[in-house]
């Protein structure tokens, strides 16, 4: 009983990590890591006309302009609000939001 209580307290006191994982975690896709892309390495473009909050896993509509990440990265990016958003080419699925 004591071990169950300790485990329950540990779960309750552990910090939520969903929001921070969305914005700072590395996403492994196709052998490259989207987490290695840093916002200041990306050329600036005007913000895309996208009224929703960017969420990892959500596909952006084809009407949102995307640009290739410079260098050898297989990813594209766009600017939503004031944040660079890394997306998979072809699917436009969001894999990272840079804060």
The series of mean pLDDT values per 10 residues for the chain, 99 residues long, is 43 40 39 58 88 94 93 89 92 93
Asked if 26 and 36 count as a contact pair (C-beta separation under 8 A), the reply is: yes
Residue 42, pLDDT score: 85
Instruction: Classify burial at 89, counting beta carbons within 10 Å of its beta carbon; exposed 0-12, middle 13-18, buried 19 or more.
Output: middle
Phi, psi of 49 (to 5 degrees): -75, 85
Q: 38, exposed or middle or buried, with CB in 10 Å at 0-12, 13-18, 19+?
A: exposed
**pLDDT for the residue 29:** 40
Total length of the chain: 99
pLDDT value for 23:
39
């Amino acid at each position: 009983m004591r071990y169950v209580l300790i485990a329950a307290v540990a779960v309750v006191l552990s910090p939520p990590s969903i929001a921070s994982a969305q914005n700072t975690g590395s996403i492994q896709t196709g052998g490259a890591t989207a987490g290695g892309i840093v916002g200041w390495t990306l050329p600036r473009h005007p913000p895309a006309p996208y009224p929703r909050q960017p969420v990892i896993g959500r596909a952006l509509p084809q009407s949102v302009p995307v640009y290739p990440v410079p260098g050898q990265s297989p990813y594209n990016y766009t600017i939503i609000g004031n944040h660079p958003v890394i997306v998979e080419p072809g699917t436009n699925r969001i894999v990272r939001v840079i804060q």
